[in-house]
Amino acid sequence: MSTAYDVIIIGSGPGGYVTAIRAAQLGLKTAIVEREHLGGICLNWGCIPTKALLRSAEILDHANHAKSYGLTLNGTMTAEVKDVVARSRGVSARLNGGVAFLMKKNKIDVIWGEAKLTKPNEIVVGKMTKPVVEPQNPVPKGVKGEGTYTAKHIIVATGARPRALPGIEPDGKLIWTYFEAMKPDFMPKSLVVMGSGAIGIEFASFYRSMGVDVTVVELMANVMPVEDAEISAFARKQLEKRGLKIITEAKVSKVDKGANSITAHVETKDGKVQQITADRLISAVGVQGNIENLGLEALGVKTDRGCIVIDGYGKTNVPGLYAIGDVAGPPMLAHKAEHEGVICIEKIAGLPNVHPMDKAKIPGCTYCNPQVASVGLTEAKAKAEGRDIRVGRYSFAANGKAIALGEDQGMIKTIFDKKTGELIGAHMVGAEVTELIQGFVVAMNLETTEEELMHTIFPHPTLSEMMKESVLDAYGKVLNA
């Protein structure tokens, strides 16, 4: 077996495996190194299985409100945690197998083990220090493993892991990360969720739908702090209507562990402390890049705040070495990793007109109930930049499709540069907005003006009509409000 390649990619998450496929398409001899399971965190423990859990919760929510749809359910709707989890794990297993198929289809060598950079253009692969856990299919016999491998280009795509706060480190029993939260062996009666970013608020939403008493503690003034303040406030009101307890401008300063419960000491900005006892605590205070034990220091690779420093094409300061995805810094999103990987490999291959990553046009989605999605500048950031702006808003309550769906609580907000008509931000909260946001992402990439959006015909009846109405509202031309 050859050990020399054009490209070796360390890590097979969405960034890694997509980059490998694109490299193979461009005729580059490619290998990918994986220490645990194909698909990385996203397919196995993140994006995909959480959406499966949230789908089960959504169905349960609809069933519990069947009468509002003119329906009567005969019998009792119950939620068995083992069955909900089993479905989620099955979804991951299916996609995990799909990645294995894509590697074989594109003639990409999979090297199983722990990779370490030993010198420029060389790695040494050791034993798999992590066990192969489900849903990973068994490692096929005869595949490549331990050894020394060389490549003209090495791309680090090792992803990230949950961040831990000193003194409140997850223990897998009473203090959970998303790993334990995704695969509970029982349904707790009460939970404290520490952090209200996408991970924290999605789990809070899921467990609340499953009947759990949930308290969210957030250090910042708003839930989902990266979102537009108006959208965040709307989402908070809806989450609280569903029974979530939310404490903002507060931190968990200490956790006392009982035999089968925790007591969180929650300190507010005025210094007051309240104690909240719950069955479990989910730590969702962010993630940090997996940069340890890669040999970065020996090669002099520049890092910053736990991430590898790169340029717009994924290049590090060491020739022939690149990084993409979460390990290369925020926003830590699967779709950012994929696109970043394609940019990196196309630049390596010498394709013309390869553009660097434009982080202003990366959409963000949170799949709680209600959903939240956004792209571009918030209203506050636009004003802070000194932009003269127009802001449009449109309510789900005025949309026929939303009313028919029984999903009339939501809002779409658009932000335009007043001088140029450029769409510089779009923010949504409500049903299916994670699907709608891409319309505005495409518009921003095409440098579409407000006039072109106004002249675009949106189908009726759809939720997407609200996107146009929001644009019209920004210019005093709203029709259905």
> Could you list the active site residues?
460
Nearest to 324 by CA among 23, 3, 6: 23
Radius of gyration of the chain (CA): 24
| Residue where the block lists tokens 């779009």 | 426
Q: Which residues pair with 304 in a beta bridge?
A: 307
In one-letter notation, the amino acid at residue 20 is: A
In one-letter notation, the amino acid at residue 32 is: I
224: region left, alpha or beta (phi > 0 left; psi from -120 to 50 alpha):
left
What b-and-e string marks burial along 276-298, b requiring 16 or more CB atoms within 10 Å of the CB?
Answer: bebbbbbbbbbbbbbbeebebee
Query: How far apart are the C-alpha atoms of 55 and 72, rounded to whole Å?
Result: 21
Query: How far apart are the C-alpha atoms of 315 and 12, rounded to whole Å?
Result: 19
Six-digit token pair at 137? 């299919």
Q: Are 153 and 322 in contact (CB under 8 A)?
A: yes
In one-letter notation, the amino acid at residue 390 is: R
